[in-house]
């Protein structure tokens, strides 16, 4: 049995491979084009920022929920035994800062 190809078969193979090579070169040209590279980099940065922002939001949400749970009852009413001392400390700090800034101005 002979595996000899005819000149027409060889020419058809050459044309097919040339077309495949042209498609491959076009794809490479698109991939290495500066606009494509910049677009890919922007997409990657955006994805990373979105992921980081999502994780930060979840962490802040957990923290806020934890603080809220410490200062309110399940029905949403404030726990005065916890709120009043924190409020007094906050007022004292504001008073100290105000007094300190008056001393530095005068």
What is the per-residue pLDDT across 49-89, written as a single tens digit (0 to 9) for each? 999 999 999 999 999 999 999 999 989 899 999 999 999 99
The string of DSSP codes covering the chain is ---PPPHHHHHHHHHHHHHHHHHHHHHHHHHHSHHHHHHHHHHHHHHHHHHHHHHHHHHHHHHHHHHHHHHB-TTS-B-HHHHHHHHHHHHHHHHHHHHHHHHHH-
pLDDT of residue 106: 61
What is the per-residue pLDDT across 10-51, written as a single tens digit (0 to 9) for each? 999 999 999 999 999 999 999 999 999 999 999 999 999 999
What does the domain layout of the chain look like in residue ranges?
A: 79-106
């Amino acid at each position: 049995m002979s595996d000899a190809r005819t000149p027409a078969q060889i020419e058809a193979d050459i044309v097919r491979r040339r077309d495949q090579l042209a498609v491959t070169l076009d794809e490479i040209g698109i991939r290495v084009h500066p606009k494509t590279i910049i677009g890919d980099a922007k997409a990657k940065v955006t994805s990373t920022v979105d992921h980081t922002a999502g994780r930060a939001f979840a962490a802040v949400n957990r923290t806020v929920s934890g603080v809220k749970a410490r200062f309110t009852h399940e029905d949403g009413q404030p726990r005065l035994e916890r709120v009043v001392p924190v409020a007094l400390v906050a007022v004292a700090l504001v008073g100290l800062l105000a007094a300190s800034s008056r001393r530095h101005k005068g």
